[in-house]
Amino acid sequence: MKHNSVWYFCLVIFFSTVALLAPITAIAKITDLRVSVDKNPIMIDEAVQLIISAEGEITSRQIDLSSLEKDFRMSSTSISQSTRSINFNTTKTTTWVTQLFPKSVGTFTIPEFEMDGQKSKAFDVIVTPVGNGQGAAARDFYVTANVDMTTVYLQQQIKYTTKLLMAKDIQRGSLQAPELDNAIIKQVGEDKEYEDFQNGVRYRVIERTYAIIPQSSGSFSISGTVFNGEAVTDSRQSFGFISRTKPINRVAPDIELTVLPIPDNYQDHWLPSEFVQLNEEWQQDPKSIVLGQPITRTITLTAAGLVEEQLPEIMGMYPPDFKIYPDQASTTTVDKGTVLFAQKIQSEAIIPNRVGKFVLGEVVVPWFNVVTKQTEYAKLPARSVEVLPPSKDAVSNIEPISPINQKPAAIATSQPPLSGANTASDEFRIDWLHISLFALWLVSLSIFGVIIITNKRNDDAKQISPVESTADETALWKRLQKAIDLSDVKETNKTLEKWLSVITERPVHSINQCFEAMNANECAAQYNTMMKSTYGANQASWQREELILALASFRESMMDKKHELRDQFGLYPKT
Q: Are 509 and 325 in contact (CB under 8 A)?
A: no
Q: What's the CATH fold of domain 28-128?
A: Immunoglobulin-like (2.60.40)
Q: Do domains 28-128 and 136-260 have the same CATH topology?
A: yes
Q: Does residue 436 carry a pLDDT above 90?
A: no
Q: How confident is the model at residue 281, as a pLDDT?
A: 94
Q: How confident is the model at residue 391, as a pLDDT?
A: 67
- When mean pLDDT is compared across 24-33, 96-105, 217-226, 239-248, the lowest value belongs to 24-33
Q: How confident is the model at residue 471, as a pLDDT?
A: 65
Q: Please list the alpha-helical segments (H only) found in 373-520.
A: 403-406, 409-414, 420-463, 466-485, 489-504, 511-517
* % of residues, the chain, pLDDT over 90: 29
Q: Does residue 247 carry a pLDDT above 60?
A: yes
178-195: average pLDDT: 92
Q: How confident is the model at residue 24, as a pLDDT?
A: 44
Sign of CA dihedral 474, 477, 481, 487: positive
pTM for the predicted model, two decimal places: 0.57
Q: How confident is the model at residue 573, as a pLDDT?
A: 46
DSSP 87: T
Q: Does residue 315 carry a pLDDT above 90?
A: no
Structural class in CATH, domain 272-388: mainly beta
Q: Does residue 335 carry a pLDDT above 90?
A: no
Phi, psi of 185 (to 5 degrees): -125, 120
Q: Does residue 458 carry a pLDDT above 60?
A: no
Q: Where are the domains of the chain?
A: 28-128, 136-260, 272-388, 466-569
C-alpha to C-alpha distance for 339 and 36, rounded to whole angstroms: 45
Q: How confident is the model at residue 185, as a pLDDT?
A: 94
> What are the tens digits of pLDDT across the range 50-93?
888 888 877 777 778 888 888 888 877 888 888 877 777 777 88
Q: How confident is the model at residue 165, as a pLDDT?
A: 92
> What are the tens digits of pLDDT across the range 142-177?
899 999 999 999 999 999 999 999 988 888 888 999
Element (H or E) spanning 273, and its range?
A: strand 272-273
Residue 501 neighbours by CB under 8 Å, 6+ apart: 507, 508
C-alpha to C-alpha distance for 312 and 331, rounded to whole angstroms: 11
Q: Which CATH number fits domain 136-260: 3.30.70, 2.60.40, 1.10.3470, 1.10.10?
A: 2.60.40
Most confident range (mean pLDDT) of 8-22, 214-228, 530-544 is 214-228
Residue 457 neighbours by CB under 8 Å, 6+ apart: none
Element (H or E) spanning 3, and its range?
A: helix 2-27
